[in-house]
């Protein structure tokens, strides 16, 4: 019995340093996570399953850049930070798609995202904003390319539209109506409607606003003026009538 108590005490003492290592900030714990960055094979697949993104992966991108904003979005999506995911989009998208559907779509894709290694492969200016091309590589299939369109809003890069969320919203809407392997026509229509709401919100925000010139302000009217009486004519003045000669 004494040996058992000594063993339990030793286990508790040994566990104290481990608990102390977990008292740091969540970012520090994620930074210390062991990274697995497998090699990419010729067919685009990964040789093994990658680990989720870390803060170090985000900091490798240029500061205050759209590609860094995209990796931050995917970082929070992989780690389940759904409130941060919704804040990555412009308010018009969140309002029309609804925060519930946006979060639900990403929550449904979290297990898949955890097996993917996203990599920025290009950045290009467009009429709708800055387009960031991302390639998602996995160990189970060929890579998938997606695009994210971002614009500055109050000094921060916000997502206006992306093809990843399009597919996620469609799947979320279909699954909510009919989770069977062969969804019904009603479920498919729900998926198309969800995608169209997302596209409509993106088109409304991405369209440039035309400034219409303001009409000139109307001048204040002088108002009614009191009538003026004519001045009496002075004798000898030009305006006074000539005197009539006396009749004989």
* Domain-embedded: residue 228: no
* Highest mean pLDDT of the ranges 2-11, 36-45, 191-200, 202-211: 191-200
* Domain-embedded: residue 188: no
Compute and round to an integer the Cα radius of gyration of the chain.
36
Q: What is the CATH number of the domain that holds 153?
A: 3.10.450.100
Strands 144-153 and 117-126, bridge-based pairing: unpaired
* Domain-embedded: residue 211: no
* Domain-embedded: residue 143: yes
Query: Which residues have C-beta within 8 Å of that of residue 247, sequence separation ≥ 6?
Result: none
Task: Grade residue 221 by pLDDT with cuts at 50, 70 and 90.
Answer: low
Task: Grade residue 192 by pLDDT with cuts at 50, 70 and 90.
Answer: very high
Quote the CA–CA distance of 74 and 84 in Å, as a whole number: 10
Q: What is the mean pLDDT of residues 224-234?
A: 62
Q: What percent of the chain has pLDDT over 70?
A: 69
3 state DSSP class of 58: helix
pTM over 0.85: no
* Domain-embedded: residue 118: yes
* Domain-embedded: residue 210: no
* Domain-embedded: residue 93: yes
Q: How many domains does the chain have?
A: 1
* Highest mean pLDDT of the ranges 17-26, 176-185, 222-231: 176-185
Show the domain range for 122. Answer: 24-159
Provide the β-strand partners of residue 40.
Answer: 46
Structural tokens at position 90:
């412009």
* Domain-embedded: residue 146: yes
Task: Grade residue 35 by pLDDT with cuts at 50, 70 and 90.
Answer: confident
Structural tokens at position 85:
């995911």
Q: Report pLDDT for 213.
A: 64
Q: Report pLDDT for 206.
A: 45
In angstroms, how far is the first alpha carbon of the chain from the final one?
162
């Amino acid at each position: 019995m004494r040996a058992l108590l000594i063993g339990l005490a030793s286990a508790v003492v040994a566990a104290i340093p481990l608990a102390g290592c977990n008292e740091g900030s969540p970012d520090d714990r994620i930074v210390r996570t062991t990274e697995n960055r497998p090699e990419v094979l010729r067919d685009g697949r990964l040789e093994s399953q990658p680990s989720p993104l870390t803060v170090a992966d985000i900091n490798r991108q240029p500061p205050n850049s759209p590609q860094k904003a995209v990796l931050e979005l995917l970082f929070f999506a992989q780690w389940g930070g759904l409130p941060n995911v919704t804040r990555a989009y412009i308010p018009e998208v969140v309002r029309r798609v609804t925060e519930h559907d946006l979060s639900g779509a990403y929550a449904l894709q979290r297990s898949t995202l955890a097996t993917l290694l996203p990599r920025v492969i290009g950045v290009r200016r467009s009429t709708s904003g800055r387009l960031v091309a991302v390639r998602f590589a996995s160990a189970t299939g060929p890579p998938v390319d997606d695009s994210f369109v971002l614009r500055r809003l109050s000094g921060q890069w916000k997502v206006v539209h992306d093809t990843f969320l399009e597919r996620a919203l469609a799947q979320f809407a279909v699954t909510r109506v009919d989770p069977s392997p062969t969804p019904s026509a009603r479920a498919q229509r729900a998926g198309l409607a969800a995608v169209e709401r997302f596209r409509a919100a993106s088109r409304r925000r991405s369209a440039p606003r035309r400034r219409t010139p303001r009409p000139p302000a109307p001048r204040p009217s002088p108002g009614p003026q009191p009538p003026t009486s004519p001045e009496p004519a002075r004798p000898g003045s030009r305006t006074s009538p000539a005197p009539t000669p006396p009749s004989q």
